[in-house]
Structure 1
Amino acid sequence: MDIRPIRTEADYKATLKTVSPYFDQEPAPGTEDADRFEVLLALIQSYESKNHPIDPPDAIEAIKFRMEQQGLSAKDLEPFIGQLNRVYEVLNHKRPLTLRMIRRIHKGLGIPAEVLIQTENDDKFSLAA
């Protein structure tokens, strides 16, 4: 098994090309090809996390996505955010999420707290409970 670290973008592209056939026909577990595939995927993942990080989604977009997934309306967010006018203010980026809202949304909708805590403009963020 001739496997080397991925150090450059050229190495990265070559490794992606190497593993591409494995996605079409995944090797049987326990075979040398399966081991090779697993090691190459780990190298790719490591390189991507360092060189191509994916930023977490915007908190409000994550809420809207969850609403769409669960077929929720703005009215359904009242238990988490407050009165309907406040819900609309939050959804339209007119009002920041408070710590209390973040806790309720995290618990009620299962959106990771890390996603809800990040903000576009930290001076607008409110830690009011």
Structure 2
Amino acid sequence: MENIRPIKTKADYDWAIAEITRYFENEPEVGSSEGDRFDVLATLIEAYEDKHYPIESPDPVEAIQSHMQLFNLSRKALAEIIGSSPRATEVLNRQRALTMDMVFKLNKEWNIPAEILVQPYHLAHGGGRKRA
């Protein structure tokens, strides 16, 4: 595997991106030396990106809002899942923490990952971090 090196700087990263981009037009055969080089470059790039450009998961309210926007769902649809319209409004306005029952229903009905819904998040009335 010629010229493979650790990605320590932005210049190394740019080099690796340029190298791997060549394979997009002409994909190497799996198991070939070029295929192995592609895999190593991809792994190095992924590790560098994870360290330098982490993608943070949304907090529970952001996840619910994104889901509602993506599937064009109303507050009424949320109210049907979690019990009432005032409760849905309070959750979306960060005035009420999600309960485990709400988390369970949102996970089951809307397939929002439970590990996102149970994360601590700030409530609007300054009540510190709350857990579901």
Unaligned runs of 5+ in 1: none
Structure 1 residues 36 and 126, CA gap change in structure 2 (3 angstroms)? closer
2:43 aligned with 1:42, yes or no? yes
Residue 6 of structure 2: aligned partner: 5
Alpha-carbon distance between aligned partners in 1 of 2:26 and 2:62, rounded to the nearest angstrom:
36
Query: Which shifted more, 103-112 or 31-40?
Result: 31-40
Distance 1:46 1:59 in 2: 27
Q: Which residue in 1 is equivalent to 2:130?
A: 125
Give the match for residue 91 of structure 2.
90
Residue 83 of structure 1: how far off its partner (Å): 0.4
The Cα shift of 1:87 comes to: 0.5
AA at the equivalent of 2:9: T
5 Å-filtered alignment, 1:71-86, equals 71-86=72-87
Counterpart CA distance in 1 for 2:46 and 2:64 is 27
Higher-helix-fraction structure: 1
Q: Is the 8 A contact 2:94 2:122 kept in 1?
A: no
Tell me the amino acid that sits aligned with residue 74 of structure 1. R
Dislocated runs of 4+, deviation >4 Å: none
TM-score with structure 1 setting the length: 0.80
Give per-residue Cα distances to partners, 1:11-39, cap 9 Å, x unaligned. Answer: 22221121123234433444433222121
Higher-RCO chain (CA-CA 8 Å, sequence separation at least 6):
1
Residue 78 (structure 1) shift:
2.4
Aligned partner of 2:67 in structure 1 is 66
- State the 1:107 CA deviation: 1.9
Counterpart in the other structure of 2:58: 57
Q: Kindly report the root-mean-square deviation, in angstroms, between the aligned alpha carbons of the 2 structures.
A: 2.2
CA displacement at 1:125 relative to structure 2: 1.4
Q: What amino acid maps onto 2:130 in structure 1?
A: F
Q: Which deviations, in whole Å up to 9, do the C-alpha atoms of 1:80-111 show, x marking residues without a partner?
A: 32201110121122222222211221122111
Q: How many residues end up aligned between the 2 structures?
A: 127
Distance 1:38 1:20, change over 3 A: same
Cα distance change on mapping 1:45 and 1:85 into 2, 3 Å: same
Percentage of pairs with the same residue: 43
Unpaired segments of 5 or more residues in structure 2?
none
